[in-house]
Amino acid sequence: MELKNQTAVITGAGKGIGRSIAEALAAEGVHLGLIARTASDLETLRTELSDKYGVNVFVHAADVSIRTEIENAVQALHERLGAIDILINNAGIGSFGKLVEMDPDEWERIIRVNLMGAYYTTRAALPFMIEQNSGNILNVASTAGERGFATGSAYCASKAGLIAMGEAVMQEVRKSNIRVVTLNPSTVNTELSIQNNLPVGDEDRMMQPEDVADLAVATLKLPARVFVKSASIWTTNPQ
């Protein structure tokens, strides 16, 4: 399916996977609405992508875990873009520790960003897709949502919730020609992984953000009559 001149809203667009997806979509001629908490990251990316690919790029700083902020951001970007054909729920955080040792406020913060943030964003964007009778929603979850691990109770719960939410929303909206896809990468060489001392290894062998972006674009380019419900992506030979 041709992506050129479609529009996409991406959360967590300033760094890592979100940034790579933004560039991959810009290379396909997609006009972008980018959301992140850090305005300077967004402005840098806006200039870079608009100059390099000649697409329209609009930005809006917002915290996805604050409902009013993300609702205002989605509304503003819809007005600038004129439509929302693609929504990428990518914003996420992670920290790890044993359940009884992690501060409950930190545990809740991970749920609010990773799960509630995707819910708030989807809830804000979905009416536009239903009205136009078409759309694509890609949720960037994790293999951690498919299988729990010690010290990951909050992160795993947030990603498992996102996987389940995507499945339920898919069943609600597929009759409106809206495709809901969940991408489940294992450990990716991003700032989140580095900050948490996860094994990112050699760049030539470890999964990179652009690998996830390539998968995202591939799912979007499938014929409109079909979609990938979920796809897990793993490093072939990790160190």
Q: Quick one: tokens of 6?
A: 């479609």
Does 119 qualify as catalytic in the annotation?
no
CA 71 from chain centre, in angstroms, equals 16
Task: Decide if 73 contacts 62 (C-beta within 8 A).
Answer: yes
Q: What is the CA radius of gyration of the chain?
A: 17
How far is it, in rounded angstroms, from Cα 192 to Cα 211?
Answer: 16
Task: Decide if 59 contacts 43 (C-beta within 8 A).
Answer: yes
Bridge partners, residue 33, by sequence = 9, 58
Active site residues: 155
